Amino acid sequence: MVLRLHAHPLSSSCHKVLTALYEAGTEFEQVLVDFGNPESHAAFVALWPVGKMPVLHDVDRDATVAETSIIIEYLDTHYPGLHPLLPADPDAQLQARLWDRIFDLYVHHPMQRLVANHMRPDTEKDIRGAAEDEARIGATYDMIEAHMAGRHWAAAETFSLADCAAAPALFYAGIIVPFGNRPNLTAYFERLLARPSYRRALVEAQPWYQYYPYRDRIPDRFLALKL
């Protein structure tokens, strides 16, 4: 079996898939994608013309799989771990997919837009769009706060696809838009942070934090995380 994940250790999207791989204990090779390196960039675009990380290449099955949720479902189907990341119960599966979408679309994506806007020259910044993205994240925090009351994980009794999506989304969003007085959300994030699979992804990202646009806001405790 040869699985190659084309990714970057700092990427929040890549953290989502790395968490799933580490959770299942699946062996794989990580291929560093460096958009600043013309050769690396060209090789990745040749593999996946959209140019969006991560992408999984299953050599044995001659399959190229893109989009984080699809990659995780592919791994769960063909290379499952001891505990599947998609629940067996159909209704629980729908909940896992729903909360995967909530974390991706309403926390992760607006967070990424805020980062992109932060990197623009002052004359090109979208002040109104940034305010809307912060408001969307805050409103979604409120949804998560209510949803996590009395729950341990987001969509099932065990760690699932939804939690793989939640961990990097909440980590990076929380740096820009703090959780505030939302104890259920905060406790849930601490459980995600303690999960060995996600913690490993964060520890591997530490040497790259210097390139993160909001690096001055990263709490010291994240810089000192250990496995």
- pLDDT score recorded for residue 112: 98
First-to-last alpha carbon distance for the chain, in angstroms, is 27
- pLDDT score recorded for residue 171: 98
Q: How far apart are CA 83 and CA 104, in angstroms?
A: 22
For strand 55-58 and strand 63-66, is the pairing parallel, antiparallel, or unpaired? Answer: antiparallel
- pLDDT score recorded for residue 153: 98
Are residues 114 and 135 in contact, defined by beta-carbon separation less than 8 angstroms?
Answer: no
In the sheet that holds 3-7, the strands lie side by side as 29-32, 3-7, 55-58, 63-66
Residue 207 has which token pair? 């040497």
Please give the CATH number for the structural domain made up of 3-78: 3.40.30.10
Are residues 106 and 86 in contact, defined by beta-carbon separation less than 8 angstroms?
Answer: no
Where are any strands of DSSP class E within 52-211?
A: 55-58, 63-66
Phi, psi for residue 85 in degrees, rounded to 5? -85, -10
- pLDDT score recorded for residue 83: 87
**CA distance readout (Å), 49 to 43, 52, 65, 72, 117:** 10, 8, 12, 20, 24
Please give the CATH number for the structural domain made up of 90-223: 1.20.1050.10
Are residues 93 and 86 in contact, defined by beta-carbon separation less than 8 angstroms?
Answer: yes
pLDDT 10s digit of each residue in the chain, 227 long?
Answer: 799 999 999 999 999 999 999 999 999 999 999 999 999 999 999 999 999 999 999 999 999 999 999 999 999 999 999 889 999 999 999 999 999 999 999 999 999 999 999 999 999 999 999 999 999 999 999 999 999 999 999 998 899 999 999 999 999 999 999 999 999 999 999 999 999 999 999 999 999 999 999 999 999 999 999 98
Extents of the domains making up the chain: 3-78, 90-223
Helix, strand, coil percentages, rounded to 5, for the chain: 60, 5, 30
Are residues 14 and 8 in contact, defined by beta-carbon separation less than 8 angstroms?
Answer: yes
- pTM of this structure: 0.96
